[in-house]
Amino acid sequence: MLQQLRPALVIFTALTLITGVAYPLAVTGIAKVLFPEQAAGSLIEQNGKIVGSSLIGQSFSDSKYFWSRPSATAPMAYNGAGSSGSNLGPTNPAFLKTVAERVAAMKAAHPAQSNPVPLDLVTASASGLDPHISPAAATYQLERVAKARNLSPDQVAQLVSAHTAGKQWGILGEPVVNVLELNLALDRVPAAQ
């Protein structure tokens, strides 16, 4: 029995050191060299205080801010430690009810808007933490934000345009707007008198 136990312990110890110590240290080191911002959490700092991460969505409910995509994380929304989707399919009655409620809330908050509510304003992403909305979702909210801040719609549209990122590497995905970064930029614009 001792003959079998010794090789098993040696292999266990070796694999623990390789996969539990060496590999994580190597990956972390490479990440810190090649992608220092992402490896540090892509944190956004304002006035010496960390206000969030450009990779994790946040809740905004004030009319003077652009609203984020809904979150499905538990036990609370936008919980970075609990990334998860709702796992409800597109024909699930609970999902359809939730989406209908969100559509009604969006229409109530934007009574002058005649366009359909963009999908990303009423459905959560797979992770429940998506920090981005589509340019269409930002445009849908533009009039409300401009009015609440006493800014012209053109001023707000310019900010949305400035904070719209194109497709990744020019080919992958769709253009997106980072909601936290856009809202922080809005806070730096003085209101018209």
Contact present, 160 and 152 (Cβ < 8 Å): no
Count each helix (H run) and each strand (E run) in the chain, helices first.
7, 5
Q: Which of 33-47, 55-69, 75-89 has the highest mean pLDDT?
A: 55-69
At residue 144, the 3 state secondary structure works out as: helix
Q: Which pLDDT score is estimated for 127?
A: 79
pLDDT score for 191:
64
Confidence at 135, pLDDT banded by 50, 70, 90: very high
Task: Check pLDDT > 60 for residue 31.
Answer: yes
- Average of pLDDT values for 13-25? 94
How large is the average pLDDT for residues 16-35? 93
Higher pLDDT among residues 148 and 38, named by residue: 148
Q: What is the 3-state secondary structure (H, E, C) of 61-94?
A: CCCCCCCCCCCCCCCCCCCCCCCCCCCCCCCCHH
CA distance 159 to 146: 11
* Contacts for 116-120: CB closer than 8 Å, 24+ residues apart: 120/69
pLDDT at 49: 87
Q: pLDDT digits over 138-182, tens only? A: 999 999 999 989 898 999 999 999 999 888 888 888 999 999 999
Domain boundaries, the chain: 1-40, 42-187
pLDDT given at position 126 = 79
For residue 135, count other CB atoms closer than 10 A to its CB: 18
Using one digit for the tens of pLDDT, what is the confidence trace for 74-106? 777 777 777 776 677 888 898 899 889 999 999
Q: How much is the pLDDT for 160?
A: 92
Give burial (CB, 10 Å; 0-12/13-18/19+) of 192.
exposed
Q: What predicted TM-score, i.e. pTM, was given to this entire model?
A: 0.77
Q: What is the mean pLDDT of residues 23-32?
A: 93
pLDDT digits (tens, 9 = 90+) for 100-128: 999 999 998 888 888 999 988 888 887 77
Confidence of residue 192 (pLDDT cuts 50, 70, 90): low
Does the pLDDT of residue 193 top 70, yes or no?
no
Q: How does DSSP assign 1-33, residue by residue?
A: -HHHHHHHHHHHHHHHHIIIIIHHHHHHHHHHH
